[in-house]
Amino acid sequence: MRPGPLLYFDGHATTPCDPRVVAAMLPYFTERFGNASSAQHPFGWAAREAVEHARGQVAALIGARLRDVVFTSGATESNNLAIAGAVRALRSRGRHVVTVATEHTAVLDVCAALEADGAIEVTRLGVDAGGLVDPAAVQAALRDDTVLVSVMAANNEIGVLQPLVEIGALVRARGAAFHVDAAQAAGKVAVDVEAIAADLLSISAHKFYGPKGAGALYVRRRGPAADLPPLHHGGGHERGLRSGTLNVPGIVGCGAAAEIARASMAGDAATLGALRDRLLDGLQARVDGVHLNGARAPRLPHNLNVRVDRVNGRELLIGLSDLSLSSGAACCTASAEPSHVLKALGLSDDAARASLRFGLIRGTTAADVDTVIDAVAGVVAALRR
């Protein structure tokens, strides 16, 4: 078996489960193993109580009402439930959907599938050189038959934060539903569903130091998506929106991670932002031709995405194989195609492939950053020779 990586800088793909989260989850595997739907005995009552407590913790993280939080397996399922469900719920009003070219594939692919079936017509907006969508472009794309607008909070590759307050106000004024994929933002930067006028919002626990396989969808019960239908049936769990036996340990972990993130967010952001800047400054000081991909601000504090001139991207990653980092989204690394996000910024195929995405995590140190700078500088120098 190959030894573990020297350093972990792939915090967008996933984060390590916080030991406090693991401790909160453990009793629900063994001692409190009841089914949350078992209403006739204490084992079920304890499980149900734990789920509702976690629902409150997640709601507090995103400024939501407790009853508007629906637990899922993560943001991919939440995105599918939100988009496909909203299209079905609102089809009597229209069939036009607006999204952005740099969205995660969990949004773009479901839109493409619905479009291929003839269920919707999709407008995909471009972004500027910094990766940001112009609210004026959103406003211009809105039509009388627009039923849904889907814009991510933070890009999973270049980390830029979209202007959701402005976009949400425009969408609400037109009476359409506003969906936000907040998988990368929740727990890292402040997300408030009221401030951004979100009707639907998706999160994944494993992006903010919780367990994999647990997440949530916020569904505003007083908006256009209030009558969201389920994607599958059988049991009526989660207020009829997500049937299936609840993953109680995962939900408990999701809630615990949300509470920890809410308390530590400001401190984490300051620490990781300073380290991220140290990494960028160090790379640019040591290596000629290092360029930032995406706007420097507003940006996730732990994200850095850079391209390196005059190197082969594949050879660069191979040379850095002792470091855990990537060239883009984990869900797309098997593809030979360059990142659709970086291409949307106007980068050539070669420049997109010669880009590195760094995702810092809690516990990353200045020494770790300096080690990465040394490693990149050494590999680039060797490749150029």
Q: Which residues contact 201 (CB under 8 A, 6 or more apart)?
A: 62, 64, 179, 180, 181, 182, 191, 193, 217, 218
27 preceded by a cis bond (ω within 30 of 0): no
β pairing state of 323-324 and 303-308 = unpaired
Same domain flag for 160 and 87: yes
Rounded average pLDDT over 8-27: 97
**What is the average pLDDT across 96-100?**
98
* 2 within some domain: no
Q: Is the pLDDT of residue 2 over 60?
A: no
CB-count burial class (<10 Å; 0-12, 13-18, 19+) for 68: buried
H helices present in 225-306, as ranges:
248-286
Q: Is residue 348 part of a domain?
A: yes
- Cα 318 to chain centroid, rounded: 26
Residues 242 and 372 in one domain: no
Q: Are 353 and 313 in contact (CB under 8 A)?
A: yes
Instruction: Say which residue, 241 or 294, is predicted with more confidence.
Output: 294
Q: For residues 225 and 117, state if they share a domain.
A: yes
Whether residue 229 sits in one domain with residue 272: no
Rounded to 5 degrees, what are φ and ψ at 114? -65, -35
SS3 of 146, please?
Answer: strand
The predicted pLDDT at position 217 comes to 98
Please give the sequence-ordered ranges of beta strands (E in DSSP) within the chain, or none if there are none: 7-8, 69-72, 96-100, 121-125, 146-150, 177-181, 200-204, 215-219, 290-292, 303-308, 323-324, 355-359
Helix segments in 11-134, DSSP class H: 19-25, 42-62, 75-89, 105-116
- Same domain? 279 vs 205: no
> Which residue among 200, 227, 260 closes a domain?
260
Q: How far apart are CA 174 and CA 182, in angstroms?
A: 22
* Residues 254, 114 contacting (CB under 8 angstroms): no
Give the domain range for residue 271: 7-15+265-384
Question: What's the whole-model pTM score?
Answer: 0.94
Q: Is 357 domain-assigned?
A: yes
| pLDDT tens digit sequence for 24-70 | 999 999 999 998 878 889 888 888 999 999 999 999 999 999 999 99
How far apart are the C-alpha atoms of 163 and 364, rounded to whole Å? 29
Examine the fold and report which residue of 260, 287, 319 is the final residue of a domain before the chain moves on: 260
Residue 329 has pLDDT above 70, yes or no: no
Residue 323: beta bridge partners?
7
Q: What is the pLDDT of residue 3?
A: 45
Instruction: Specify burial of residue 334 (Cβ count, 10 A radius: 0-12, 13-18, 19+).
Output: exposed
Section 236-240 average pLDDT: 77
Q: Does residue 1 lie in a domain region?
A: no
Kindly report, residue by residue over 336-384, the tens digit of the pLDDT. Answer: 689 999 999 999 999 999 999 999 999 999 999 999 999 999 999 999 9
Of 260, 295, 315, which marks where a domain is finished? 260
- 238 lies in the same domain as 271: no
Encode pLDDT of 244-281 as tens digits: 889 999 999 999 999 999 999 999 999 999 999 999 99
Does 333 score more than 70 pLDDT?
A: no
**The two structure tokens encoding residue 110:** 């479901």
Q: How confident is the model at residue 239 (pLDDT cuts 50, 70, 90)?
A: confident
Give the SS3 label for residue 338: coil
Q: What is the pLDDT of residue 336?
A: 67
Could you tell me if residue 27 is inside a domain?
A: yes
Query: Higher-confidence residue: 106 or 332?
Result: 106
Give the pLDDT confidence of 118-156 residue by residue, as tens digits: 999 999 999 999 999 999 999 999 999 999 999 999 999
In a domain, 352, yes or no: yes
**Residues taking part in catalysis:** 331
Domain co-membership, 255 together with 287: no
pLDDT (tens digit per residue) in 167-225? 999 999 999 999 999 999 999 999 999 999 999 999 999 999 999 999 999 999 998 98
Helices and strands, number each (H, E), in the chain: 11, 12
Closest CA to 306 of 322, 331, 326: 326
Q: In this structure, are 79 and 159 located in the same domain?
A: yes
Residues 6+ apart with CB under 8 A from 151: 99, 100, 103, 133, 138, 162, 164, 167, 178, 179, 180, 181
Q: Residue 330 pLDDT more than 80?
A: no
Domain with residue 187: its CATH number is 3.40.640.10
Same domain for 58 and 134, yes or no, is: yes
- Co-location of 256 and 341 in the same domain: no
The domain tally of the chain equals: 2
Q: What is the CATH number of the domain that holds 351?
A: 3.90.1150.10
Residues 299 and 236 in one domain: no
pLDDT band at 1 (very low <50, low <70, confident <90, very high): very low
Does 234 fall in a domain?
yes
- Say if residue 256 is in the same domain as residue 272: no
Sheet of 303-308, strand order: 290-292, 303-308, 355-359
With residues binned 3-state (H G I as helix, E B as strand, rest as coil), the percentages for the chain, rounded to 5, are 40, 15, 45
Residue 136 lies in a domain: yes
Is the model's pLDDT at 335 over the cut of 50?
Answer: yes
Identify the helix (H) or strand (E) that includes residue 340. Answer: helix 340-344
